[in-house]
Amino acid sequence: MRLYLALFYLMEHHIYNKKDLKKTTFLQKMLGQRIKENAIVELNNLLADHELQEVTLEQVYAIADKYGVNFKTDYNQEITDFYKSYLNSCLSDKVISDKELTDLKELKRILQINDKQVEEIHRELAGKIYKAEVDKVINDGELDEAERAFIEKLQNDLKLPQEVAQNIYLTSGQELIRNFMNNVISDAKLSPDEEKELNAIAKNLQTDFKMDVATKNDLDKYRLYWQIENDEMPELQVDINIPRTERCYFVAQNAQWFEQTSETPAKVNSNSALSLKIAKGLYWRNPAQDNKKLENSAWQSIDVGVVYLTNKRVLFKGSKGDKIILLNRVIDFAVFSNGMEIEKGEGKNPFVQFEGNMDIFGMLLGKAISQLSI
């Protein structure tokens, strides 16, 4: 039985196969020149013909002297590949035994690889295996005690340092949460149940999902999108007097109010915006990428102030006075990246311009109009 295991072990890690030397040309023979690349071939053949414990440094030095090379500087990548190949073979069963550790130390001695190189190679190769197994275990967003015990044992079997394993686990957890989140918000909405599941995964995996400011703002916006689409309109407290039956949904500071110079209603969907059929209860989400062109001959700047959207009207309070558009008088509207044009049944159509949240304004306006008959 022991003989069988020994033979099996030799076959399992007999990874170096003999290679033919590159032949020298007639001229090279005449000049006594040697092909330096054959130094690596001879080193490979030395490892192929002997057990690691049998190889001496004198044999390695003799090959280097024969070809006038320095393995460390001339063939560092090839030397590293020798070690990687052997380590990969040891890692094939996801366990590094004490015997394999001993052999790896012998190979390190033969190849004269320093501790830093060995550590980097081990972290790279063992880390890939560990991450692949961790990804499989946490794929369902849950991690029970048996699975925790498995990845802890795997870390020990791979001889992977604790901090390296922890970083890999955190990275995998964050990747899973990020992918889940991207899938959830692919429809540009974030429901309470989806957010609850997202938080549950992070808690179960004991992983904090770090969000930048842009991601956090997107989630806040998608949460609001869901609320609006599901009739949970945000109600804001404002410092202006409005009737008790009126609720404010949106406020924009430093808004500029433009009006058409002609009272003839113009079609608002003529500049790549999305025109909505309000009567059907549809409402707008994303703005047109193009700016609305406000030519001096067609548009006049009227005032600067604050825009309020309520369940009854669009109210503009400027330094020169108030402007009011009742929602039941809105025929259509279009949202651009730089503002909104509102088409009324009569009078001059306005263009409202302010920085940021134009999409929210458009969505809330559309939803508020669609609720007028409720």
Do 318 and 256 fall into the same domain? Answer: yes
Do 284 and 361 fall into the same domain? Answer: yes
In a domain, 71, yes or no: yes
Q: DSSP labels for 283-303?
A: ---S-BSSPP---TTTEEEEE
Q: Is the pLDDT of residue 220 over 80?
A: yes
Q: Is the pLDDT of residue 119 over 50?
A: yes
Instruction: Please give the tally of structural domains in the chain.
Output: 3
Residue-number span of the structural domain to which 299 is assigned: 248-370
pLDDT above 70: percentage of residues in the chain: 86
In a domain, 128, yes or no: no
Do 206 and 307 fall into the same domain? Answer: no
Average pLDDT of span 58-87:
92
In a domain, 121, yes or no: no
In a domain, 234, yes or no: no
CATH number of 259's domain: 2.30.29.30
Do 67 and 152 fall into the same domain? Answer: no
Do 145 and 200 fall into the same domain? Answer: yes
Q: What is the pLDDT of residues 260-290, one digit of tens each?
A: 887 655 454 433 333 333 333 344 555 555 6
Contact 59, 26 (CB under 8 A): no
Which pLDDT score is estimated for 3? 34
Q: Is the pLDDT of residue 347 over 70?
A: yes
| Boundary of a domain, candidates 198, 227, 256 | 227
Do 345 and 295 fall into the same domain? Answer: yes
The span from the CA of 205 to the CA of 130, in Å, is 16
In which band, very low, low, confident or very high, does the pLDDT at 320 lie, cut at 50, 70 and 90?
A: very high
In a domain, 120, yes or no: no
For 249, other C-beta atoms within 10 Å of its C-beta total 20
- DSSP for residue 70: -
